[in-house]
Amino acid sequence: MATPKFDVTKHILVPKHTIISERERKQVLEKYNITYKELPKILVNDSAIKHLKPKVGDIVKIVRASLTAGETIYYRGVINA
Amino acid sequence: MDDVLKEYSKQLPIKIIDEVKKSVPKNVSKSKLKEIMENILEEYKSMKVAFGESVGLISAESIGEPGTQMTLNTFHFAGVSEMNVTMGLPRIIEILDCSKSLSTPMMEIYLTSPLNKGKGIKEYAEKIKETTLGECIKEVSVNLGNSTIEVETDDNKMNILKITKNKIIKIVNTSLKGYTVKESGNLIILKPRGKEDTVNNLFKTKEKIKSIYVSGIKGITQVLPVKKGEEYVIVTAGTNLKEVLGMEGVDSSRSFSNDIREINSILGIEAARQSILNEVTKVIDVQGLNVDVRHIMLVADTMSISGLVKGITRYGVVSEKSSVLARASFETPLRHVINASISGEKDELNSVVENVMLNQVIPVGSGVPKLVVRKE
């Protein structure tokens, strides 16, 4: 896929994605009492995280705008496409 | 006041804290505020969905019941009656099944200033629309005497699109092999190269000429400038999000398509999830029904959990289920049972459906906790 001329991350449908650190990663998995495999997934080549240059095995933190809570935090594990 | 609220920001959603900020008087004492917050926190905790609650079933009922009241096939006219959009139950099915080809693909293109004030919007809309040669010509005729094809161009239309005759000649030249293209007077004349063409072939080419692509964005068949609130937007039939968002004059942060698969490939999985939510809510609102967003959120989350958008079909979400019996209970039971027996699949009976089939306690509500005996 060619790089688009527009900024994907600026689109209103796209929430903010960040790759979390090793320490935070442990906290997340501990908080929800799950293993990495049980997390929801996101593809490595997903347009919204391409600029972050993710690696397979990373955890992406997503801050969504939510109608019910104002803001919610969601985590997705990066997998191979 | 902010200090106290900050303490609770980890335990309460932002929306609730904002609401407290708005409704509590400014000069409230710290201890009073703390008391209020403690009460809110307690109330909030008691409102949470209980562990083991079968939320999926409740969602299914909550979306399904209004679905029975939905008009079966309504068309919503966007502005002018020329353009119609699938709404109602067929659209809901389309979204939740995540169909590859939509019956009415559509885009809403927001524009930057000065276009969003309506200045020059008509010309701009024409520029977006996919135009074929057939639309910028008045007449095509076959001259049997010289065995040539004569094309009479429509100057009005060409002016709007800002295309010159030379450009058309160039386009025709590159897309039609074996013809020499010449301009003579107000006509464009196509002559077969080499020996004369048969009459049959000439007529075939005549039809072919009409569908040559001239300008605009491929896939967009209709455009319609519409006033939405304060500004003007362009509603299109047909989508091509990638090209449109890259165009100058388009507000690439707000324009969107109604094709969820397309959004997934261009804006990513999170955008697709959000747009499932938006599209379903839109249909339900138009019908005047009322479904809590939480139910739709659950569906959208389920569809996007694997990183790809999966429809609620036997090829999508259902095929992900780990239990053979659960899959077989949805659709095409024989196929699932046969495939499972070929590959020697094991059913752990961890979920609901298979346990209902086998008349066992289902893992829902009080059926979730298990008794474990420690062996000494």
Assign residue A50 the CATH number of its domain.
3.90.940.20
Reduced DSSP (H G I as helix, E B as strand, rest coil) percent helix, strand, coil of chain A, to 5: 25, 30, 45
CATH 1.10.1790 fits B51-104+262-320, yes or no: yes
Rounded distance between C-alpha atoms, residue B359 and residue A32, angstroms: 31
Rounded distance between C-alpha atoms, residue B314 and residue B334, angstroms: 13
Q: Choose the closest CB to A68 out of B256, B274, B293.
A: B293
Task: State the greatest distance between any 2 C-alpha atoms of chain B, in Å, as a whole number.
Answer: 105
Rounded distance between C-alpha atoms, residue B143 and residue B147, angstroms: 5
Size of interface A-B (CB pairs under 8 A): 93
Peptide bond between residue B114 and the one before it cis (omega within 30 degrees of 0): yes
**Is residue A36 one of the residues assigned to a domain?**
yes
- pLDDT at A2 (0 to 100): 46
Q: Token pair of B277, please? A: 């939510």
Say how many domains are in chain A. 1
**Shortest distance, CA B44 to any CA of chain A (angstroms):** 12
Chain A environment of B16 (Cβ under 8 Å): 69-70
Instruction: Say whether A13 and B271 touch across the interface (CB within 8 A).
Output: yes
- pLDDT at A4 (0 to 100): 52
Instruction: Say whether A47 and B266 touch across the interface (CB within 8 A).
Output: yes
Same fold, B51-104+262-320 and B131-215: no
Q: Give me chain A's average pLDDT, please.
A: 89
Q: Choose the closest CB to A48 out of B18, B270, B308.
A: B270
Rounded distance between C-alpha atoms, residue A38 and residue B319, angstroms: 17
Q: Choose the closest CB to A11 out of B252, B297, B304.
A: B252
CATH architecture under which domain B131-215 falls: 2-Layer Sandwich (3.30)
**Shortest distance, CA A20 to any CA of chain B (angstroms):** 17
Residue bearing the bigger pLDDT, B5 or A53:
A53
- The highest-level CATH class for domain B321-367 is mainly alpha
End-to-end, the C-alpha distance of chain A in Å comes to 13
pLDDT tens for each residue of chain B, 376 residues long: 778 888 888 888 888 888 888 888 888 888 888 898 999 999 999 999 998 899 999 999 999 898 888 876 656 555 555 667 778 888 888 999 988 888 889 899 998 888 888 788 888 888 888 888 877 778 888 877 777 888 887 777 777 777 777 777 888 778 777 777 777 777 788 777 766 667 787 788 778 888 888 888 888 888 888 888 888 888 888 899 888 888 888 888 999 999 999 999 999 999 999 999 999 999 898 888 889 999 999 999 999 999 999 998 888 888 888 889 999 998 889 999 999 999 999 988 988 999 999 999 999 988 888 888 888 7
**Shortest distance, CA B2 to any CA of chain A (angstroms):** 18
Cα torsion B57, B59, B65, B70: sign: negative
β A70-79/A59-66 pair status: antiparallel
Instruction: Say whether B308 and A43 touch across the interface (CB within 8 A).
Output: yes
Instruction: Say whether B307 and A41 touch across the interface (CB within 8 A).
Output: yes
- pLDDT at B166 (0 to 100): 79
- pLDDT at A1 (0 to 100): 42
Rounded distance between C-alpha atoms, residue B212 and residue B209, angstroms: 6
- pLDDT at B74 (0 to 100): 59
Interface of A with B (CB under 8 A): 4-8, 10-15, 17, 40-43, 46-49, 62, 64, 66-72, 76, 79
Range of the domain at A43: 8-79
Q: Per-residue pLDDT for A62 more than 80?
A: yes
Instruction: Say whether A14 and B294 touch across the interface (CB within 8 A).
Output: no
**Is residue A67 one of the residues assigned to a domain?**
yes
Is-contact B287 B70, C-beta < 8 A?
A: yes
- pLDDT at B305 (0 to 100): 92
Q: Choose the closest CB to A12 out of B16, B254, B269.
A: B254
- pLDDT at B355 (0 to 100): 92
**Is residue A3 one of the residues assigned to a domain?**
no
Nearest to A41 by CA among A66, A60, A65: A60
The domain spans of chain B are 2-47, 51-104+262-320, 131-215, 321-367
Residue bearing the bigger pLDDT, B196 or A40:
A40
Instruction: Say whether A13 and B252 touch across the interface (CB within 8 A).
Output: no
Q: Choose the closest CB to B246 out of A5, A40, A43.
A: A5
| β-pair partners for B137 | B153
Cα torsion B282, B288, B293, B299: sign: negative
Rounded distance between C-alpha atoms, residue B152 and residue B367, angstroms: 78
Residues 6+ apart with CB under 8 A from B185: none
